[in-house]
Amino acid sequence: MSDPRRGLPSVSRLLEEPAVAAALAGAPRATGVAAVRRAVAAARLAPEAAPRDAAGWARAAADELRAATRPTLRRCINATGVVLHTNLGRAPLAAAAREAIASFAGSYSTLEYDADEGTRGDRHVHCAGLLRELTGAGGAMVVNNAASALLLALSTAAAGGDVVVSRGELIEIGGGFRIPEILETSGARLVEVGTTNRTRLADYERALKTAGTGARGHRGTGARESSRPVAILKVHRSNFRQEGFVADAGLAELIELGRRRRVPVIYDLGGGLMLDLDAAGLAGEPTLPAAARSGATAVVASGDKLLGGPQAGILVGAAGFVARCRGNPLARAVRADKLTLGALAATLALYRDPRTARRDVPVLRMLVAAEPALEARAAALASRLPSAARATVRATRAAVGGGAYPGVELASAGIELAPSGLAAGELARRLRQADPPVVAVVTAGKVVLDVRTILPEDEPDVCAAVGAALA
């Protein structure tokens, strides 16, 4: 019996074929050779589908070359209706932020240089002034993400000491990271108070009587005691809700308790919302300016969630405490880079005029978009799609995402695709294979493109992707 794999050409022979050489032109030789090897290896696994001529081998080698050299981190189109989609990079940047990065990314910059004085500068000045202006905080700094900001604040306030926190606030954030683990990494000891569903101010008061003494029991039990730093941690439950028989101590109560006991209060706000969105039906989320004015020693938040900027950790609070955080050796390990600082500063500057922010910050624009306007966009986009897509406009339910506004759904509009002879799963796969990929949702056996999260400038690429998927 003859094995069809015996007839496959060798790698060296294919490399000498003019058509294959043309397909690999411009690529480093090692990369091109590896692409041809992968094409031959694929043919060995499925010889019945192996190319039959030089042109076929050139196409196979070119496909392997594209797959090998295509960046893994690239632009995509979010048609899921989840505004802050963590897997898709959360907040898309405002045009002002993109322009700010482009203005210095390809050159040297004044990251840590004072051009007026001709001396070494401080990278924190690029965002700190804006944050103080917008929030009223006495001090401000930016690090690489919110978990780092919390880690830094806890390390500064209570390294080697005790941090008192409600059991109902020992939450898990994205990627499996948990508040207790972050707290313990800071060098502090976790002191849990209350229960999962009910924690009262009296629970904190009782814990503070023994926290920081070094004793597990009450004073006077004979245990050896030593003075240790103590802090109170309040965590905003931004990614889940508690309902029913629940109670907790409010931030204002804890701040007053902290004042009486001379204990710092760290508030983990989470999303970093700068403007209230009550008028858009998104009520109940505390804002960063309000939290900064609450009197908490420090407030930490994300830059890439509801604020709509790049991934960053924001820390605002008492000027003296923030200064101590800057002096903490950990601050250098978690500092933000120049691209993050430039993008965040440009985004924060938009908030000087709330109307400008609602118009120019993509996340805010998506969140406050009205249903009639979304329906009109969906109808206009559907009319531009190939007739074979059998596109129809339908009502959808979008989500904020990013661990914000848990359980809240946004009335939205989308385009349902129902082409004949093509299963929804296969159509969704083909859309993901487009350049750029279009990430849609499959519901009730249909592919749906939610226009709330499709940027207007991405609409031509959506049309092209749908056309290519149906070709």
Residue ranges per domain, the chain? 4-69, 77-86+364-470, 95-360
* DSSP class of 219: T
Fold category of 95-360 in CATH: Aspartate Aminotransferase; domain 2 (3.40.640)
Cα–Cα distance for residue pair 295/288, rounded to 1 Å? 12
pLDDT band at 220 (very low <50, low <70, confident <90, very high): very low
* Separation CA 153–CA 157 (nearest Å): 6
**Residue 245 is which amino acid?**
F
User: What is the C-alpha to C-alpha distance for residues 215 and 187, in angstroms, rounded to an integer?
Assistant: 17
Sign of the CA dihedral running 244, 204, 407, 353: positive
Confidence of residue 385 (pLDDT cuts 50, 70, 90): very high
What's the rounded Cα separation, in Å, for the pair 311 and 97? 12
- Preceding peptide of 456 cis, ω within 30°: no
Which has more confidence, 225 or 231?
231
For residue 198, give the 3-state DSSP assignment.
strand
Q: What is the pLDDT of residue 183?
A: 75
Mean pLDDT within 363-386: 96
Q: Give the pLDDT score at 185.
A: 80
As a whole number of angstroms, the distance between CA 383 and CA 101 comes to 36
Separation of alpha carbons 405 and 409, rounded Å: 9
**Chain segment 123-170, per-residue pLDDT in tens:** 999 999 999 999 999 999 999 999 999 999 999 999 889 999 998 877
> Residues 112-119: what's their mean pLDDT?
94
DSSP 94: P
Task: Dihedral sign for Cα 429, 430, 435, 437, please.
Answer: negative
CA–CA distance, 448 with 441 (Å, rounded to integer) = 5
If pLDDT is split at 50, 70 and 90, which confidence band does 4 have?
confident
Assigned CATH for 77-86+364-470: 3.90.1150.180
Phi/psi of residue 110, each to 5°? -90, 45
**Per the structure block, which two tokens stand in for 433?**
């294979």
Q: What is the mean pLDDT of residues 271-292?
A: 91
Distances from the Cα of 358 to the Cα of 275, 301, 333, 349, angstroms: 9, 20, 34, 13
